[in-house]
């Protein structure tokens, strides 16, 4: 009986920890996407003052600074021209 109780407690703790980690990662991803969308919109509003190369470099640098840059270092960052 005690073994079953300990097993159930461990399983519950383990499951709760995994779910908490996934929720925290999702929250960070949503925050990152919101920041990137705001940046792209900000740069799009100023497109007549900034060339595409500058906007792409700013976007790539901010992606790196905000923590997702490690995935974008070797990729081209696309900036939508409106």
- Residue 79: name the closest of 47, 48, 56 by CA: 56
pLDDT in tens, 19-62: 888 887 778 888 888 888 999 899 988 888 888 888 889 888 88
Average pLDDT on 3-14 reads: 89
Query: For residues 79 and 55, is the Cβ–Cβ distance under 8 A?
Result: yes
């Amino acid at each position: 009986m005690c073994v079953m109780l300990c097993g159930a407690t461990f399983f519950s703790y383990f499951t709760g920890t995994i779910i908490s980690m996934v929720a925290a990662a999702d929250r960070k991803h949503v925050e990152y996407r919101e920041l990137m969308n705001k940046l792209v919109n900000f740069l799009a509003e100023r497109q007549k003052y900034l060339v595409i190369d500058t906007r792409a470099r700013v976007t790539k640098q901010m992606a790196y600074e905000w923590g997702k840059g490690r995935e974008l270092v070797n990729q081209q960052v696309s900036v939508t021209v409106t």
